[in-house]
Structure 1
């Protein structure tokens, strides 16, 4: 079978069919393990052309047994089966009057977002928020306040938000495969980068209170 367009979901199903860990799958594809984690956290994302080609090759070289398992995994689940919700931790990092943002590739366009990472079972979301911020941007931060949790209206994942304070480190793009840029933006200009309708309301309230 042919996959017309690889998404985060179908790429992760291929990983499952190959029975590989994130680390082993990343090594097989020649990309970072953090990138694989992001696919798990954002199943609706559409990969860039070069990643599509990498996944095409991986599928073609996987062999018939893997391809049969993959075809079975693609079948829609029974109505009574409930998939475990994917969870992400999102860091809203402040440095004075500035907020830290990353510009991600995906879905055929560039999008500015707050640093985020997938929360694996047993992991503390606040720890993931801090670690992923450093891994993506080189910025060390500490959690000031938990802002809340919601099912993200676009991706459908459970997102937990944390207001964080900058401790040290310059903002640099440390994940060039998924991100185009990393930058600090003035709080007053945040909605020029992320439409206000897409921002979790407690974030806007917290930023206003911190002003």
Structure 2
């Protein structure tokens, strides 16, 4: 049996606005994944919700507010604890705010997600997107 991963958890911001979800493309691919939801490591003293809000701002320039936690899981590929947080846009226009980490951002409807992400998201995230995307 694999030992629990000791690295910090990763918080992911699930941001849907006007029927589209905000995706980021990493400058360096992570395995088979190039497009993903904004997110990153939870810093010491931070909650998953706080980390998701911070990461969304740092990566995309968009100010968001955490609405609800969709759940947690151990990522099947990386072994990291993942925390998925629904966030709503407060203000801002998405752009590549961290060019060292990202090379693109995109607001995607269902077809746009299907073009960029070759497999379903974590089940609660996918269910949320299925009910909120155009």
- Common topology (TM > 0.5): yes
Q: Distance in 1 between matches of 2:113 and 2:93?
A: 19
Please tell me whether the aligned partners of residues 5 and 79 of structure 2 are also in contact (alpha carbons under 8 angstroms): no
The structure, 1 or 2, with the larger RCO (C-alpha pairs under 8 Å, 6+ apart) is: 2
The alignment partner of 1:206 has SS state of: helix
In structure 2, the partner of 1:127 is 50
Q: CA deviation at 1:185?
A: 0.9
TM-score, normalised by the number of residues in structure 1 = 0.56
TM-score, normalised by the number of residues in structure 2 = 0.86
Instruction: Return the match for 1:164 from 87, 96, 101.
Output: 87
Q: Distance in 2 between matches of 1:110 and 1:207?
A: 18
- Give unmatched runs, 5+ long, in structure 1: 1-80
How many residue pairs were aligned?
A: 130
Output the aligned Cα RMSD.
2.1
Report the structure, 1 or 2, having the larger strand content. 2
The alignment partner of 2:64 has SS state of: strand
- Give unmatched runs, 5+ long, in structure 2: none
Please tell me whether the aligned partners of residues 33 and 117 of structure 2 are also in contact (alpha carbons under 8 angstroms): no
Larger Rg: 1
Report the structure, 1 or 2, having the larger helix content. 1
In structure 1, the partner of 2:22 is 100
Superposed CA deviations along residues 142-189 of structure 1, whole A, max 9, x for unmatched, are 122211001111221100001111121111101111111111111343
